[in-house]
A and B are shown apart, each in its own frame.
Chain A
Amino acid sequence: MALLEEPIKEVRTLKNYINGEWVESKGEVVDVVNPARYETIARVPISTGEEMGAAVEAAKEAFQDWRRTPPVARARYLFRLKELLEENFEEVSRIQTQEHGKTIDESRGETRRGIENVEVACGIPTLMQGYYSEDIAHGIDEWVIPTPLGVFGIIGPFNFPFMIPLWSAPYAVATGNCVIVKPSPEVPNSQMRLAELVEEAGFPPGVWNVVNGEKAVVGHMLEHPDVKGIAFVGRTSTARDVICRKCGETGKRYIAQASAKNFMTIMPDCDVDRTVAAMMTSFFGNTGQRCLSAANAVIVGEDDAFYKSFVDKVIAQISSIRIGYGLDESVQMGPVRDIEKKARIIGYIESGIQQGAKLLLDGRGDFQIAGDYPDTCFLGPTVFENVTPDMKIGSEEIFGPVMSIMRVKDLDEAIEIANANAFGNGNSIFTTSGKSAREYQYNVTSGNVGINIGIVAPMAFFPFSGMKDSFYGVLHTQGREAVRFFTESKVVIQRWF
């Protein structure tokens, strides 16, 4: 199968987008590597705190006019951005595949999800309306006005380089705030292309800024008194120990979406073929590098014949997964993002073996790459059975293509082990029983719950939820909750003498 054309054709050094200008950074520059080819495709600056400071100043300055721009006029910038994203849909998607390694179907899915958030934010004239009570006492009225706060920082992770900043940024600017997006330095290209489209859409300078970098610029963002809030997606350790703590100290509001260990509960009455298909996407889509990927397959019941036949089907299907460069349309699973992540996943596979799980498929060697690519960042799918919740592979986030199969006697036990886990992001059940489904969704402590859905990714008009160590904060990204997060409620009580 021929490769789709790569949009990034030359290695260029990326700039920051500050105050409507493309600005060279003074910071050191690091390589951005295409993990499938293991070739450098760009160089990204690790910007300085001073450069982040300049972006905050620009955003603060822009805020004065932008917040006075009527919501209906702000929405028109977003409508234009939405048009541009549709026009450049394929290019934006291929950039994601080129820089991240995910398949083209996955990248297009990511682009669509991002655009949907822009679409929802276009409804800001109604989404941002306040409410009013006449005569709260005789002759006295009271109302609430959602007002923007100022400058927000948006920190993106490596696994969804294009989409995740769009869970927040469109709502932030639609509500009259200004943003500084800090992409992951591993995958900054799609955010740079997005910023070009933002510029083309005509957003006023300073409303939407992008500053590349890593810890130092995040630290500066967190310390800066003019940054009013942070939307972060990343690991629990950073979410809890850095974002939460620093925002608490500096009085910022925050959304911190974090790690996960998702349990997929499989009832013996499930639709086997559809369930197996859903498992492929859930466990191995995005090469397992997403916070909604299933990690533990919990097979319910003591029927050995069902268990064996189900696992045999799963293994047969997994064994046929085509691995390669995601710009080959036939590829079903790409590489992991980089060598360090691959090594980390292999460490988990080794721990599974050491702790007594039975290895059914070994992703360290049992796979072929479609096409002539180095195996540097590639891994095959791994499947363990006889996994218990206390094993590292059964309890910790692996963030890779590893399926841990567990057996439990009944639904209660399945819910119990899912609830005992530290995380609560995207658990799901596969069943044809409404009773089991209701019991599961009612009792499981998971922010997003799937019923016959393997990837419980909420649409843009629903909040992206999370519980326990998977989420820190109160309000969530996306939809109405994002609008509330990016606005302060100003309450007015009025009487006339």
Chain B
Amino acid sequence: MILHTASEGITFAKKLENDSAEFYESLAGQNAKDAETFLSFAKENKKNIVQVERAYYGVITDAIEGCFAFNIDPDKYALKTAVKDGAAYADMLSQAVEIEKTIIKFYTDAAEQSKSLMADVPRAFTIIARKRGSRLEKLGAL
């Protein structure tokens, strides 16, 4: 089902952040060498949720288009977060890269859809997408 309301969009963003945080926590448990990096990603995800919620709860009023803010197909941003038993480390990193690309696309698309309709929310989304871009570089360096 397509997500249209701001409340749905924010809930979905939180789900992506929480699911990917769990993925990184799982990665950290399986790869002691880079565990610190993965745990820092998971921690950053929690901060992203705070940032998204702060933007939303700070600006949501009847003067903006809260119920008509988005046109998000959640299936397009489905994350594969289950780590296969015995997966090679390189495969796990590739999986992480895919997750990041998917989440960046979500934030970028959602920011574009809600631009000038949702005040600070698209700005917060754009900032998080940018932060996640730098995460891709970090993953590439592992």
Shortest Cβ distance from residue A319 to the other chain B in the assembled complex, whole angstroms: 13
Interface status of A262 (Cβ within 8 A of chain B): no
Interface status of A410 (Cβ within 8 A of chain B): no
Residue in A106, A113, A280, A330 whose CB lies within 8 Å of B8: A330
Q: Are B57 and A112 in contact (CB under 8 A)?
A: yes
Q: Are B66 and A280 in contact (CB under 8 A)?
A: no
Interface status of B94 (Cβ within 8 A of chain A): no
- A456: chain B residues at CB < 8 Å are 63
CA–CA, A109 and B68, complex, Å: 14
Count residues of chain B with CB under 8 A from any CB of chain A.
Answer: 22
- A457: chain B residues at CB < 8 Å are 61-63
Contact with A along B57-73 (1 / 0, CB 8 A): 11111111111100000
Shortest Cβ distance from residue B109 to the other chain A in the assembled complex, whole angstroms: 15
**Chain A, range 392-411, C-beta contacts under 8 Å to B:** none
Residue in A105, A322, A453 whose CB lies within 8 Å of B63: A453
Interface status of A332 (Cβ within 8 A of chain B): yes
CA–CA, A286 and B61, complex, Å: 12
Q: Are B68 and A332 in contact (CB under 8 A)?
A: yes
Q: Are B1 and A109 in contact (CB under 8 A)?
A: no
Q: Are A330 and B62 in contact (CB under 8 A)?
A: no
Shortest Cβ distance from residue A130 to the other chain B in the assembled complex, whole angstroms: 32
CA–CA, A242 and B54, complex, Å: 43
Shortest Cβ distance from residue B97 to the other chain A in the assembled complex, whole angstroms: 31
Given contacts A113-B61, A329-B11, A281 and B5 within 8 Å (CB-CB): no
Q: Are B62 and A329 in contact (CB under 8 A)?
A: no
Q: Are A290 and B62 in contact (CB under 8 A)?
A: yes
Q: Are A329 and B8 in contact (CB under 8 A)?
A: yes
Q: Are B58 and A112 in contact (CB under 8 A)?
A: yes
Give the most central of B3, B6, B59: most A CB within 10 Å. Answer: B6
Q: Are B3 and A330 in contact (CB under 8 A)?
A: yes
Q: Are B5 and A330 in contact (CB under 8 A)?
A: yes
Given contacts A103-B67, A277-B68, A332-B68, A110 and B62 within 8 Å (CB-CB): yes
Given contacts A108-B57, A277-B68, A281-B68, A455 and B63 within 8 Å (CB-CB): yes
- B63: chain A residues at CB < 8 Å are 109, 453, 455-457
Taking residues whose C-beta sits less than 8 angstroms from the other chain, chain A's interface range is 20 to 34
Shortest Cβ distance from residue A255 to the other chain B in the assembled complex, whole angstroms: 20
- B3: chain A residues at CB < 8 Å are 330
- B127: chain A residues at CB < 8 Å are none
Q: Are B68 and A113 in contact (CB under 8 A)?
A: no
Given contacts A109-B66, A329-B11, A333-B67, A274 and B58 within 8 Å (CB-CB): no
- A108: chain B residues at CB < 8 Å are 7, 57, 60, 66
Interface status of B116 (Cβ within 8 A of chain A): yes
- B66: chain A residues at CB < 8 Å are 103, 105-106, 108-109, 281, 285
- B58: chain A residues at CB < 8 Å are 112
Q: Are A332 and B5 in contact (CB under 8 A)?
A: yes
CA–CA, A331 and B57, complex, Å: 18
Contact with B along A322-360 (1 / 0, CB 8 A): 100000011111000000000000000000000000000
CA–CA, A174 and B8, complex, Å: 37
Q: Are A455 and B62 in contact (CB under 8 A)?
A: yes
- B4: chain A residues at CB < 8 Å are 322, 330, 332
Q: Are A112 and B61 in contact (CB under 8 A)?
A: yes
Complex: chain A residue closest to B117, CB-CB = A277
Shortest Cβ distance from residue B68 to the other chain A in the assembled complex, whole angstroms: 4
- B61: chain A residues at CB < 8 Å are 109, 112-113, 457
Interface status of A1 (Cβ within 8 A of chain B): yes
- B5: chain A residues at CB < 8 Å are 103-105, 329-332
Contact with A along B94-123 (1 / 0, CB 8 A): 000000000000000000000011000000
Q: Are A280 and B60 in contact (CB under 8 A)?
A: no
Interface status of A143 (Cβ within 8 A of chain B): no
Residue in B1, B6, B60, B65 whose CB lies within 8 Å of A278: B65
Residue in B11, B57, B62 whose CB lies within 8 Å of A285: B62
CA–CA, A1 and B12, complex, Å: 12
Q: Are A106 and B116 in contact (CB under 8 A)?
A: no
- B62: chain A residues at CB < 8 Å are 106, 109-110, 113, 281, 285-286, 290, 292, 455, 457
Given contacts A108-B60, A112-B57, A329-B11, A280 and B65 within 8 Å (CB-CB): yes
Give the most central of B57, B59, B116, B117: most A CB within 10 Å. Answer: B57
Shortest Cβ distance from residue A296 to the other chain B in the assembled complex, whole angstroms: 19
Contact with A along B34-76 (1 / 0, CB 8 A): 0000000000000000000000011111111111100000000
Given contacts A322-B4, A329-B5, A330-B3, A109 and B65 within 8 Å (CB-CB): no
- B11: chain A residues at CB < 8 Å are 329
Complex: chain A residue closest to B114, CB-CB = A277
CA–CA, A455 and B60, complex, Å: 13
Interface status of A89 (Cβ within 8 A of chain B): yes
Q: Are B67 and A332 in contact (CB under 8 A)?
A: yes
CA–CA, A110 and B60, complex, Å: 8
CA–CA, A110 and B66, complex, Å: 12
Contact with B along A240-283 (1 / 0, CB 8 A): 00000000000000000000000000000000001001101100
Q: Which residues of B contact A (CB under 8 A)?
A: 1, 3-8, 11, 57-68, 116-117
Enumerate 19 A-B pairs (CB-CB under 8 Å) in ascending A order. Answer: A1-B1, A1-B8, A105-B5, A109-B60, A109-B63, A109-B64, A112-B57, A113-B62, A277-B117, A280-B68, A281-B68, A285-B66, A290-B62, A317-B68, A331-B5, A332-B4, A332-B5, A456-B63, A457-B61
**Which 6 A-B pairs rank lowest in CB-CB distance, beginning with the nearest?**
A105-B66, A332-B67, A329-B7, A109-B61, A280-B68, A281-B65
Query: In the complex, given contacts A106-B67, A455-B62, what are 9 additional A-B residue pairs having Cβ atoms less than 8 angstroms apart?
Result: A103-B5, A103-B66, A105-B7, A281-B68, A285-B66, A292-B62, A332-B67, A455-B63, A457-B62
